[in-house]
């Protein structure tokens, strides 16, 4: 008798906790966390974690806590493919985010297609993800090379460039960006002529063979896809020759970000117009200040990196889509993502229902000296969003 | 002919593996598929390393050729699998024969460097020939027959192909040809004196290794539904080399254990920390300092030690 009472009580307790304790929603994420890609992957993951912390503090998604399962993609598509399969089959994640390299993004998209699990590409720009290789379960919240190329062509027209030198890195991103620029040139700068196209190798550090060629070509502007360390090396080698005195340098690849400005400091040259996803010192949306303050606290620095915003937006889209679908089922979440608009630290974004591409913009502007700063800042920073 | 004991043991292993999908764990089946593919890859490399005594630093080249060729034939040309797979394997073998023709003229470090050089050439082709290979975007969206699209179907397919490949390699390595290779490894000058054309023997071994490496690559590409230039990079060659060394180069089955141990360790390590290279460095240290003959050598020494103790009592 006594035992049965206890058993019954235990049963009631058990039932009660079963209702309250729903299993967590599992979000899998892959970024490069070691090696050369870690400079971008680690901040992106910080933004990802910040979003999950915020959501969990508010009770998670649909009242369920979020569990974040984070893995290193090692910048290697085969590793990313295996690891993503593992997240799906072993850890049973509900959705996968992340990636950085184009090849990793495409490999993850392939797994997403095979396994019928939603994948939101948060950093890769490869145009193929949302064109040739588009499928039901893949979405992109970062920019793509067509959008970036379109803006660069527009800026070439606006700055009245006549003779243009074109510099791209010889790999997927560079080749795709070149296509994007060439497609848009007739629209914005019909009279401009590309007089020289050069393609240094990915990872190149010595640009001495290229610099004199560009200087001798007599172009009044350069369209460049040299990102990160490539741009830094070019500047260090070309600036002492007076390269940047007469030539306008319009660049994609986020060399207008604070990471590059902070690295080059006083060596950052004149006449550079470039882009960045986010600026810690300038926002286009009221929610940006709060986001940036939280990120600064998390990373323990006021001058926060731009990549965090991309990781953050990926999680915010996940939450919004699941709330809208009232489900974590891949088919329903994918349907919810189509045409979904959300507010983000860089303003309101919408994912196109057909192309699965978010209309995320970038800040573009000249990098100018500031009297009270050791580094340059983008001013005025114009937020250019694709139509 | 293989001993009865070997045959029975292999049959039991294959049978046990065939029962794996009954566990119902999708993850275990996928992991086993990956391990099987790497086991064949490592085993094929050991024909060059263990049997001829030359270190190849470019084995990923044949893996990549097999993988890309099979992927392109299946997807771009829509050939059936029954034609694509053999064609890819033959192509890998032919390229290995062509490369081997030059490489076997050298030995030791010079041989290793030349294999590395040719492998980087293959990597360069995969990178630059964008229209065909997809360049550094990789070649994704490989078409597979519906039967193999399911993970269990693909596991059985891999098991069958790998088992056949291992059996073929066993026969090759234990034939007169394989024993001649060992003679060349142990003393090339003496082998030459008794009338062995050592260069031709090593050339044949190199071709065999490339052929089976290509088979492993084809299985790999179809499993991932994609081939990437990273698969042809020298780091991939180094990875399979470590598998072989870890398992033990002087035993036929050694590389199988090495491949399984290294791949599983890498997979499980990655679940806890991104610092796999540190772990890999420690493994290499242990191999070089303590386990020069790999896991198999350790097992043999352990057995000998126990036997000696039992003998005393």
pLDDT per residue as tens digits for the range A290-326: 999 999 999 999 999 999 999 999 999 999 999 999 9
Mean pLDDT of A275-304: 94
Residues of B in contact with A106 (CB under 8 A): 137-138, 140, 226
Distance, in Å, from the CA atom of B151 to the CA atom of B23, rounded to the nearest integer, reads 14
- Indicate the fold that domain A146-276+363-384 takes in CATH: Rossmann fold (3.40.50)
The pTM of the full predicted model, rounded to 2 decimals, is 0.88
Q: Which among A281, A327, A332, A290 has a CA at the least distance from the CA of A312?
A: A290
Residue B137: which of A72, A89, A103 has the nearest Cβ? A103
Q: What residues 173-192 of chain A have any CB closer than 8 A to a CB of chain B?
A: 175
CA distance B290 to chain A (A): 29
Q: Among all chains, which residue has been given the structure tokens 């998604």?
A: A61
Exposed / middle / buried, residue B78 (Cβ in 10 Å: 0-12, 13-18, 19+): exposed
pLDDT band at A250 (very low <50, low <70, confident <90, very high): very high
| Segment among A17-26, B76-85, B248-257 with least mean pLDDT | A17-26
Q: What is the ipTM of this complex?
A: 0.86
Kindly state the tokens that stand for A95: 């959705």
| Segment among A14-28, A357-371, B55-69, B115-129 with least mean pLDDT | A14-28
Q: CB of A63 within 8 A of CB of A23?
A: no
Nearest CA in chain B to A129: B137
Q: Which among A288, A280, A294 has a CA at the least distance from the CA of A54?
A: A294
Query: Does residue B199 sit within a domain?
Result: yes
Where are the alpha helices (H) located in B80-175, listed in sequence order?
A: 81-103, 108-128, 130-133, 146-149, 151-174
What is the signed CA dihedral for A131, A137, A140, A141, rounded to 10 degrees? 160
Residues of A in contact with B30 (CB under 8 A): 85-86, 89
Give the pLDDT confidence score for residue A37 in this predicted structure: 85
Mean pLDDT of A25-40: 91
Q: CB of B263 within 8 A of CB of B269?
A: no
Give the pLDDT confidence score for residue A172 in this predicted structure: 87
Residues of B in contact with A127 (CB under 8 A): none
CB contact under 8 A, A106 and B26: no
CB contact under 8 A, B228 and A107: yes
Give yes or no for residue A1 having a pLDDT over 50. no
CB contact under 8 A, B34 and A82: yes
Give yes or no for residue A8 having a pLDDT over 60. no
CA atoms within 13 A on the CB side of B37: 26
Nearest CA in chain A to B141: A110
pLDDT band at A3 (very low <50, low <70, confident <90, very high): low
What average pLDDT does chain A have? 91
pLDDT band at A99 (very low <50, low <70, confident <90, very high): very high
Nearest CA in chain B to A73: B274
| Segment among A58-62, A231-235, B225-229, B288-292 with least mean pLDDT | B288-292
Give the pLDDT confidence score for residue B277 in this predicted structure: 82
Residue B140: which of A74, A133, A171 has the nearest Cβ? A133
Distance, in Å, from the CA atom of A30 to the CA atom of A179, rounded to the nearest integer, reads 28
A383 touches chain B (CB under 8 A): no
Query: Does residue B253 sit within a domain?
Result: no
Helix axes B26-52, B234-247, angle to 10 degrees: 80
Nearest CA in chain A to B220: A78
Give yes or no for residue A359 having a pLDDT over 90. yes
Q: Which among B283, B176, B175, B268 has a CA at the least distance from the CA of B238?
A: B283
Give yes or no for residue B307 having a pLDDT over 70. yes
Distance, in Å, from the CA atom of B278 to the CA atom of B275, rounded to the nearest integer, reads 6
Higher pLDDT, B58 or B288: B58
Q: CB of A137 within 8 A of CB of A338?
A: no
Domain boundaries, chain A: 24-143+286-356, 146-276+363-384
Other CB atoms within 10 A of residue A361 CB = 20
Top CATH class of A24-143+286-356 equals alpha beta
Give the pLDDT confidence score for residue B288 in this predicted structure: 84
Distance, in Å, from the CA atom of A111 to the CA atom of A228, rounded to the nearest integer, reads 29
Could you give the angle at the alpha carbon of B182 between the alpha carbons of B181 and B183, nearest 5°? 90
Q: What percent of chain A has pLDDT over 70?
A: 95
pLDDT band at B296 (very low <50, low <70, confident <90, very high): confident
B277 touches chain A (CB under 8 A): yes
Handedness of CA A211, A212, A217, A218 (dihedral sign): positive
Query: Does residue B251 sit within a domain?
Result: no
Residues 6+ apart with CB under 8 A from B63: B41, B92, B213, B214, B216, B217, B220, B231, B232, B236, B240
Residues of B in contact with A71 (CB under 8 A): 270-271, 274
Residues of B in contact with A125 (CB under 8 A): none
Give yes or no for residue A65 having a pLDDT over 90. yes
Is the backbone of residue B240 left (phi > 0), alpha (psi -120 to 50) or beta?
alpha
DSSP state of A268: P
Give the pLDDT confidence score for residue B162 in this predicted structure: 97
Q: What residues 175-204 of chain B have any CB closer than 8 A to a CB of chain A?
A: none
pLDDT band at B311 (very low <50, low <70, confident <90, very high): low
Query: Which of B124, B137, B217, B226 has the highest number of chain A CBs within 10 A, making it the mutation to test binding with A?
Result: B137
Q: What residues 206-235 of chain B have any CB closer than 8 A to a CB of chain A?
A: 220, 224-226, 228-231
Query: Does residue B141 sit within a domain?
Result: yes
Give the pLDDT confidence score for residue A13 in this predicted structure: 46
Query: Which of B139, B140, B227 has the highest number of chain A CBs within 10 A, making it the mutation to test binding with A?
Result: B140
Count of domains in chain B? 1
Same topology, domains A24-143+286-356 and A146-276+363-384? Answer is yes
Distance, in Å, from the CA atom of A334 to the CA atom of A328, rounded to the nearest integer, reads 10
CB contact under 8 A, A89 and B230: no
3-state secondary structure of B204: helix
Q: Among all chains, which residue has been given the structure tokens 């882009």?
A: A275
Q: Which among A28, A34, A25, A137 has a CA at the least distance from the CA of A86?
A: A28
pLDDT band at A97 (very low <50, low <70, confident <90, very high): very high
Q: CB of A225 within 8 A of CB of A252?
A: yes
CB contact under 8 A, B137 and A106: yes
Mean pLDDT of A213-221: 92
A85 touches chain B (CB under 8 A): yes
Give yes or no for residue A96 having a pLDDT over 70. yes
Q: Which among A144, A93, A134, A159 has a CA at the least distance from the CA of A252?
A: A144
CB contact under 8 A, A89 and B267: no
Which residue spans within chain A are E strands per DSSP?
Answer: 25-31, 66-72, 95-98, 119-121, 138-140, 163-167, 193-198, 221-224, 248-251, 272-276, 341-344, 347-350, 362-368, 377-378, 382-384
Give the pLDDT confidence score for residue B312 in this predicted structure: 57
Give the pLDDT confidence score for residue A157 in this predicted structure: 94
Query: Does residue B94 sit within a domain?
Result: yes
Q: CB of A105 within 8 A of CB of A127?
A: no
- Phi/psi of residue B91, each to 5°? -60, -45
Q: Among all chains, which residue has been given the structure tokens 């599983």?
A: B264
Distance, in Å, from the CA atom of A253 to the CA atom of A276, rounded to the nearest integer, reads 8
Distance, in Å, from the CA atom of B127 to the CA atom of A172, rounded to the nearest integer, reads 10
3-state secondary structure of A78: helix
Count of residues making up chain B = 313
CB contact under 8 A, A82 and B141: no
* Beta bridge partners of residue A196, listed in sequence order: A165
Give yes or no for residue B157 having a pLDDT over 60. yes
Q: What percent of chain B has pLDDT over 70?
A: 98
DSSP state of A75: T
Exposed / middle / buried, residue B125 (Cβ in 10 Å: 0-12, 13-18, 19+): middle
Report strand pairing: A272-276 vs A95-98: unpaired
pLDDT band at B125 (very low <50, low <70, confident <90, very high): very high
Query: Does residue B260 sit within a domain?
Result: no
Nearest CA in chain B to A105: B137
Nearest CA in chain A to B150: A114
Residue B137: which of A78, A113, A172 has the nearest Cβ? A172
Size of interface A-B (CB pairs under 8 A): 81
DSSP state of A201: P
CA A209 remoteness from chain centre: 31
A131 touches chain B (CB under 8 A): no
Kindly state the tokens that stand for A23: 């299993």
What is the signed CA dihedral for B177, B182, B187, B192, rounded to 10 degrees? 0
A115 touches chain B (CB under 8 A): no
CB contact under 8 A, A103 and B229: yes
Residues of A in contact with B274 (CB under 8 A): 33-34, 71-72, 74
Reported as type and span, the H/E element at residue B15 is helix B4-19
Mean pLDDT of B199-224: 96
pLDDT band at A19 (very low <50, low <70, confident <90, very high): very low
pLDDT band at A14 (very low <50, low <70, confident <90, very high): very low
Q: Which among A120, A67, A71 has a CA at the least distance from the CA of A93?
A: A67
Give the pLDDT confidence score for residue B1 in this predicted structure: 53
Exposed / middle / buried, residue B250 (Cβ in 10 Å: 0-12, 13-18, 19+): middle
CA B122 remoteness from chain centre: 18
CA distance A35 to chain B (A): 10
* Beta bridge partners of residue A167, listed in sequence order: A198, A224
Give the pLDDT confidence score for residue A11 in this predicted structure: 47
Q: What residues 44-63 of chain A have any CB closer than 8 A to a CB of chain B?
A: none
Kindly state the tokens that stand for B260: 């399984």
* Beta bridge partners of residue A3, listed in sequence order: none
Residues of A in contact with B270 (CB under 8 A): 71-72, 83
CB contact under 8 A, B226 and A81: yes
Give the pLDDT confidence score for residue A202 in this predicted structure: 85
Query: Does residue B209 sit within a domain?
Result: yes
Nearest CA in chain B to A28: B271
CA atoms within 13 A on the CB side of A251: 31
Residue A81: which of B31, B135, B224 has the nearest Cβ? B224
A109 touches chain B (CB under 8 A): yes
Give the pLDDT confidence score for residue A12 in this predicted structure: 45
């Amino acid at each position: 008798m006594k035992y049965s009472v206890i058993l019954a009580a235990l049963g009631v307790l058990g039932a009660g906790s079963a209702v309250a304790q729903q299993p967590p929603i599992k979000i899998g994420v892959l970024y490069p966390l070691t090696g050369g890609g870690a400079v971008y992957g680690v901040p992106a993951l910080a933004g990802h974690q910040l979003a999950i912390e915020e959501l969990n503090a508010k009770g998670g998604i649909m009242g369920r806590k979020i569990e974040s399962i984070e893995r290193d993609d090692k910048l290697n598509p085969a590793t990313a493919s295996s690891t993503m399969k593992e997240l799906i089959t072993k850890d049973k994640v509900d959705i996968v985010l992340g990636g950085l390299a184009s090849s990793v993004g495409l490999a993850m998209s392939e797994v997403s297609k095979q396994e019928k699990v939603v994948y939101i590409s948060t950093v890769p720009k490869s145009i193929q993800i949302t064109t040739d290789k588009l499928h039901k379960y893949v979405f992109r919240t970062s920019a793509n090379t067509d959008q970036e190329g379109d803006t660069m062509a527009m800026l070439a027209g606006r700055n009245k460039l006549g003779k243009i030198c074109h510099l791209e890195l010889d790999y997927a991103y560079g080749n795709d960006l070149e296509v994007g620029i060439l497609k848009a040139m007739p629209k914005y700068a019909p009279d401009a002529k590309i007089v020289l196209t050069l393609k240094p190798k990915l990872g190149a550090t010595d640009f001495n063979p290229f610099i004199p060629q560009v200087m001798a070509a007599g172009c009044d502007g350069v369209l460049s896809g040299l990102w990160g360390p490539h741009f830094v090396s070019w500047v260090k080698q070309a600036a002492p020759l007076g390269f940047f005195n007469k030539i306008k340098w319009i660049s994609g690849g986020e060399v207008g970000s604070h990471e590059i400005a902070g690295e080059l400091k006083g060596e950052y040259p004149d006449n550079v117009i470039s882009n960045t996803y986010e600026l810690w010192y300038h926002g286009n949306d009221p929610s940006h200040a709060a986001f940036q303050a939280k990120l600064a606290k998390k990373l323990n620095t006021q001058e926060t990196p731009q990549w965090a915003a991309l990781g953050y937006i990926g999680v915010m889209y996940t939450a919004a889509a699941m709330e809208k679908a009232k489900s974590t089922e891949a088919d329903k979440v994918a349907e919810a993502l189509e045409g979904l608009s959300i507010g983000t630290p860089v303003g309101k974004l919408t994912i196109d229902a057909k192309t699965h591409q978010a209309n995320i913009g970038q800040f573009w502007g000249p990098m100018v000296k500031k009297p009270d700063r050791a580094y340059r800042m983008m001013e005025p920073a114009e937020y250019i969003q694709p139509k | 002919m293989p001993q009865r004991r070997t045959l029975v043991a292999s049959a039991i292993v294959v049978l046990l593996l065939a029962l794996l999908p009954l566990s119902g764990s999708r993850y275990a089946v996928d992991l086993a598929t990956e391990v099987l593919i790497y086991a064949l890859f490592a085993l094929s490399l050991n024909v060059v390393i263990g049997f001829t005594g030359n270190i190849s630093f470019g084995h990923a080249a044949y893996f990549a050729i097999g993988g890309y060729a099979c992927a392109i034939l299946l997807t771009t040309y829509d050939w059936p699998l029954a034609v694509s797979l053999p064609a890819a394997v033959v192509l890998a073998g032919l390229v290995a024969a062509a490369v081997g023709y030059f490489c076997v003229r050298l030995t030791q470090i010079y041989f290793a460097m030349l294999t590395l050089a040719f492998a980087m050439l293959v990597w360069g082709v995969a990178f630059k020939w964008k229209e065909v290979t997809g360049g550094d975007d990789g070649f994704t969206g490989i078409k597979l027959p519906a039967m193999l699209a399911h993970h269990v179907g693909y596991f059985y397919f891999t098991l069958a192909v790998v088992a056949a490949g291992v059996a073929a390699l066993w026969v090759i390595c234990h034939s007169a040809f394989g024993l001649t290779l060992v003679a060349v490894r142990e003393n090339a000058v003496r082998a030459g004196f008794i009338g062995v054309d050592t260069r031709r023997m090593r050339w044949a071994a190199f071709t065999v290794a490339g052929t089976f490496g290509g088979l492993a690559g084809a299985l790999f590409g179809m499993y991932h539904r994609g081939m990437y230039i990273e698969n042809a990079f020298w780091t991939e060659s180094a990875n399979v080399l470590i598998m072989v060394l870890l398992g033990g180069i002087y035993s036929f089955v050694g590389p199988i254990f090495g491949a399984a141990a290294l791949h599983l360790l890498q997979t499980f390590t990655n679940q806890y920390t991104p610092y796999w290279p540190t772990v890999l460095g420690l493994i290499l240290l242990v191999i070089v300092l303590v386990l020069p003959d790999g896991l198999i050598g350790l097992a043999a020494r352990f057995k000998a030690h126990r036997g000696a103790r039992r003998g005393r009592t």
